Amino acid sequence: MSEGGGPTTEPLRPVSLPELRLQATGRCWEVDQPVEGLASLTPVRGSLEARHHGTALELKARVTTIVTLCCDRCLQHFNHPLRAEVEELVEIRTPNDPDPFRAAVDDLAPAGDDLDDRLDAEGRFDPERWLFEQLSLQLPLVNRCGPDCPGPATWSSEPAGGDPRWATLQRLKS
């Protein structure tokens, strides 16, 4: 850990919120490592800042990496640059804090605290997990290798041809 909140290149590990609160300038990380759960070709590189503001944790990140995706149309693998530039405020609450919106959420959603973005005041902030979530949100919904994607290699109007993704279904039909 660096003095005065300057950047550190140590691996991303969870940090306690009370410890983070004591650091007036917050905590900065220079990121250059793989992120657990994210299958990337290159390490995630960039920076992450966390500042405690009493009732909220201010988070800023600018990170990049490259992931390999499978084209939804032609089934070929391709490399895709992934970038996240995020600024977010995460609410910090103690278990005894009243929550005027909790009753409404409880009526509309199943039980559990995983539906809102809050941190326990005595808990920990996991920067690696947060980066994983931010990068995952940047993944495309539809994977296309490019505007000139040729489509399936065996696409044909003849009965013997067809999209290989349907081969298992065709065997069940026979």
Q: Model confidence over 33-70: pLDDT tens digits? A: 999 999 999 999 999 999 998 888 899 999 999 999 99
Round the average pLDDT of the chain to a whole number and report it.
Answer: 81
Q: Quick check: 80 pLDDT over 90?
A: yes
Instruction: Report the number of distinct structural domains present in the chain.
Output: 1
- pTM beyond 0.85: the answer is no
Range of the domain at 16: 3-173
DSSP-assigned letters across all residues of 63-91: EEEEEEEE-TTT--EEEEEEEEEEEEEEE
- The two counts, helices (H) then strands (E), for the chain are 4, 8
* The one-letter amino acid at 121: A
